[in-house]
Amino acid sequence: MRIDVLTLFPDLILANAQAGVVGRAQERGLLQVAAWNPRDHTHDNYRRVDERPFGGGPGMLMLIDPLRETLAAARAATSDPAPVIYLSPQGERLTQKRVRTLAALPRLILICGRYEGLDERFVQAEVDLELSIGDYVLSGGELAASVLIDAVGRLQEGALNDADSASQDSFEQGLLDCPLYTRPERHELGEVPEVLRSGDHRAIARWRRQQALGRTWLRRPDLLARMSLGSDDRVLLDAFIRRHRTQGS
């Protein structure tokens, strides 16, 4: 997959995409991230990319023409079609389901706003999808774009080693992750739950499933409400809830 990013801060995008699993995906040729700077597509002496909003008020907006020319240059880099995605607080919320859909495409074009945002005419004419990573305001779209690149990049076939296979991720099952433990077995801060040391793989799988269900029930009831639990899950969760109500743990 190829991801082209329009940004006034190319270094931010490229640095994030070089680390960890996503960096390795690029080294393996599974992912190409390229950044395009609208400042390189200006024609005035000041290389101006922003202007004051009509109607007044604080802040500046990004000019239409540098963005359009940058988008045309990015588009022309390959013949693959690509949706144009604008990262903004006004967008539809990004979910793991949407990440999976986007990860299957050959190419994406991401637009990072700065200042107060983009001229709405550019959004109307050129943007296919507006996405938000959460209900908070950043100083620009770059961190949000980096989040999307990371989530999509690690799903490229061959990016994850067996050890960090995506099928185990929280949300791939619609649930939060279970609690995790490593050495030492006994620590000043507590002991590793007995079942995880039992070697009984069925009991371990059952405990993990129950913890995932229980935690989702406690912390994200909204996620659970949108699932339909099978009878085994129902039994596990009911036992978790009963224990929670009697001993509060």
Interface residue list for ligand 9WO (CB under 6 A): 58-59, 87-89, 113, 116-117, 132-134, 137-138, 140-141, 144
Which residue of the set 50, 65, 69, 116 is catalytic?
116
* Closer to ligand 9WO by Cβ: residue 9 or 241: 9
Say if CB 145 and CB 110 are below 8 A apart: yes
* Closer to ligand 9WO by Cβ: residue 137 or 163: 137
* Closer to ligand 9WO by Cβ: residue 58 or 248: 58
How many CB atoms are closer than 10 A to CB 5? 29
* Closer to ligand 9WO by Cβ: residue 150 or 237: 150
Which residue of the set 65, 69, 169, 172 is catalytic?
169
**Relative orientation angle of helices 142-153 and 96-103, to the nearest 10 degrees:** 70
Peptide bond between residue 184 and the one before it cis (omega within 30 degrees of 0): yes
154 is an active site residue: yes
Smallest distance from the beta carbon of 74 to ligand 9WO, in angstroms? 18
* Closer to ligand 9WO by Cβ: residue 31 or 133: 133
* Closer to ligand 9WO by Cβ: residue 138 or 241: 138
Smallest distance from the beta carbon of 58 to ligand 9WO, in angstroms? 4
CA dihedral 15, 17, 22, 27 (to 10 degrees): -80
232 is an active site residue: no
Which residues are bridge partners to 132 per DSSP? 93
Beta strands in the chain (DSSP E): 2-6, 32-36, 50-51, 61-62, 84-93, 107-112, 129-132, 186-187, 190-191
The residues, ordered by sequence, that sit 6+ positions from 8 with a Cβ below 8 Å of its Cβ are 37, 38, 39, 49, 112, 114, 140
Percent of the chain as helix, strand, coil, to the nearest 5: 45, 15, 40
Smallest distance from the beta carbon of 112 to ligand 9WO, in angstroms? 7
194 is an active site residue: no
DSSP 45-94: TT---EEPPTT--SS-EE-HHHHHHHHHHHHTT-SS---EEEEEEEEEEP
Smallest distance from the beta carbon of 121 to ligand 9WO, in angstroms? 15
Which residue of the set 89, 107, 177, 233 is catalytic?
89
Smallest distance from the beta carbon of 152 to ligand 9WO, in angstroms? 15
* Residue 30 to residue 240: CA distance in whole angstroms: 42
116 is an active site residue: yes
Smallest distance from the beta carbon of 137 to ligand 9WO, in angstroms? 5
Catalytic (active-site) positions: 89, 116, 154, 169
